[in-house]
Structure 1
Amino acid sequence: MISSGDLVTRKSYKHDIIFRVKTETGQLLKLMGEHVRLEADAPLDDLEKVTGAEYHRRKSEVDKKEAYSYRLFRQDYRLLKEKREAEAGSGYTKAKETNYFQIPPRILHIDGDPLFLKKCIALYEQLGLQVHGQYLHEKEMPNQVLPLIEKVHPEIVVLTGHDSYSKAKGTVRELESYRHSKYFVEAVRNIRRKYPNFDQLVLFAGACQSHFESIIRAGANFASSPARVNIHAIDPVYVAARVAYTSFMDHINIWEVIRNTVSGEDGLGGIETKGLLRIGMPYTENQTEEENKEET
């Protein structure tokens, strides 16, 4: 017997994705991707429970991809740091004794999945970024996003969760063919009405198979999914992190952002955007005390 919380695969899709059963409505069950940001419905007789051995085998594959993306990001981060240090020390005689501090931007991450949100927050913290996480159902995002922005005052906003394209509802060009894309579009449009500057408030929006073109036209800097593919749970974090650790003096190379993600160019895209990191001098011991006060 399959019930809410069980891990399952779909026979009709050759068991390609592991889902977690969210709700049961008669013979039709609502499913959430366990590792990708995909939402789907399926009849009970199309589902098969996932064994523990199969789950751990697939999770191991996902973990390897995540670790690879993390290594790529850390390599890029080191290069960005070396560049900042060189620029900070270039105006001083003792360049080797560079003494600077950096102010990364605040991030507001709004997620339609509380489990994915928790995982993303842990990764932001691992990357040393200040983030405010908020769980909201995708349908609530258009109305709730502006009050949250006014409360948190972020420089980067991430709007993500679950989505999917349904051929039965129409063509890939029609926004109504998607489960949640219209809510991402509406939320982005609402933000841009009040915060029109693309380089002062950077937006990422979308999930698996989302209507990329509509989200970008609404005003997002980065979005998913150009090829209507599934995107990994943590991909939005790497996009935000690249913006956060690129100097506001530099433009972001879109390919360098995308290549750090698990999904790649089929899953993510964007427009030319400036970084948001600012550096200052000199760094003092008093600053450390003040930063600690702010964190507590």
Structure 2
Amino acid sequence: MISNGDLVTRKSYQHDVIFRVKEKSSSIVQLMGEHIRLEADAPLEDVEEVTGAEYHRRKSRVEEQEAYSYRLFRQDYRLLREQREADAGSGYGTEEETSYFQIPPRILHIDGDPLFLKKCIALYEQLGLQVHGQYLHEKEMPHQVLPLIEKVHPEIVVLTGHDSYSKAKGPVRELESYRHSKYFVEAVRNIRRSYPNFDQLVVFAGACQSHFESIIRAGANFASSPSRVNIHAIDPVYVAARVAYTSFKDHINIWEVIRNTISGQDGLGGIETKGLLRIGIPYTKNQEEI
């Protein structure tokens, strides 16, 4: 017997994605992706409970992907740091004399899934970034995003959660064919009315299968999902981290941002954007960096 909180797959989709049952009625279950930002409904007879062995097998594969993405980011971070050290040495004195600190931007991460939010916050902290996390249902994001920005004063805003495209609702090009894309679009528009400068407040928005073109047109710097594919739970973190650790003097190479993610260019895209990191001197013992 399927119950709320159970881990299941869909028979009609060849058991491709593991979901957690969010809510069950007499004939329909509402599903939330366990590792990806996908929300779906399914007939009760279409879902099948996942065995413990199968769940751990798939979880191990996901953890391997996450570890690979983290290694890629750390490699890029080292390259960025070497460049900053070279710039500091040439601009402020000899290498022996140079001692600098860095100030990454503040991040506001608003998530429609409290479990994914917790996972993302842990990764931000692992990457040494200052983040304020807030759980909000996607429908609330357009109304709550500006008060949160005014409270936190971030330089990067991440709006994510769950989404999906439904062929039954209409064609791919229609925004109404998507579960939550319209809320991401409206939230981004509200941000840009008050914060129009794309390089002073950088915005990522979207989730699995989201209407990428509409979110970008609304004013996001980065969004999902160009090919309407599923995106991994932590992909938005790597986008934000790359912006956070790129100097404000440099433009971000969009491909280098995307290649750190699990979803790749089918799942994520964006526009030319400057970094937000600033360095200063001198470094003192009271200052900590990653």
In which range does the TM-score fall when normalised by the shorter chain? over 0.9
Q: Distance in 1 between matches of 2:93 and 2:46?
A: 70
Equivalent residues in 2 for 1:13-162 (5 A)? 13-162=13-162
User: What amino acid sits opposite 1:158 in the alignment?
Assistant: V
Q: Distance in 1 between matches of 2:111 and 2:280?
A: 33
Q: Deviations over 1:1-21 (max 9, x none)?
A: 001000000000000000000
Equivalent residues in 2 for 1:184-199 (5 A)? 184-199=184-199
Mapped pair 1:254 → 2:254: yes
User: What amino acid sits opposite 1:257 in the alignment?
Assistant: V
Q: Distance in 1 between matches of 2:105 and 2:96?
A: 27
Q: Distance in 1 between matches of 2:157 and 2:47?
A: 36
User: What amino acid sits opposite 1:232 in the alignment?
Assistant: H
Range with greater deviation from structure 2 (96-105 or 157-166): 96-105
Question: Between the two proteins, what is the percent identity of the paired residues?
Answer: 86
Q: Distance in 2 between matches of 1:186 and 1:240?
A: 20
Q: Deviations over 1:31-78 (max 9, x none)?
A: 000000000000110010000000000001101110000000000000
- The structural deviation recorded for 1:178 is 0.1
- The structure 1 segments of at least 4 consecutive aligned residues displaced by more than 2 Å after TM superposition are 91-94
Q: Distance in 2 between matches of 1:91 and 1:200?
A: 24
Q: Distance in 1 between matches of 2:242 and 2:187?
A: 23
Q: Distance in 2 between matches of 1:186 and 1:226?
A: 18
User: What amino acid sits opposite 1:250 in the alignment?
Assistant: D
- Give secondary structure in 1 for the equivalent of 2:232: coil
Q: Distance in 1 between matches of 2:261 and 2:33?
A: 18
Mapped pair 1:280 → 2:284: no
The residue that corresponds to 1:239 in the other structure is 239
The residue that corresponds to 1:203 in the other structure is 203
User: What amino acid sits opposite 1:73 in the alignment?
Assistant: F
Q: Deviations over 1:227-257 (max 9, x none)?
A: 0000000000000000000000000000000
- Give secondary structure in 2 for the equivalent of 1:90: helix
User: What amino acid sits opposite 2:220 in the alignment?
Assistant: A
- The structural deviation recorded for 1:92 is 4.3
What residue ranges of structure 1 are gaps of 5+ in the alignment? none
Range with greater deviation from structure 2 (89-98 or 51-60): 89-98
User: What amino acid sits opposite 2:101 in the alignment?
Assistant: F
Q: Deviations over 1:116-151 (max 9, x none)?
A: 000000000000000000000000000000000000
Q: Distance in 2 between matches of 1:213 and 1:246?
A: 25
User: What amino acid sits opposite 2:190 in the alignment?
Assistant: N
Q: Distance in 2 between matches of 1:173 and 1:92?
A: 52
The residue that corresponds to 2:166 in the other structure is 166
What residue ranges of structure 2 are gaps of 5+ in the alignment? none
- The structural deviation recorded for 1:93 is 4.3
User: What amino acid sits opposite 2:32 in the alignment?
Assistant: M
- The structural deviation recorded for 1:109 is 0.1
User: What amino acid sits opposite 1:140 in the alignment?
Assistant: E
Q: Distance in 1 between matches of 2:60 and 2:140?
A: 34
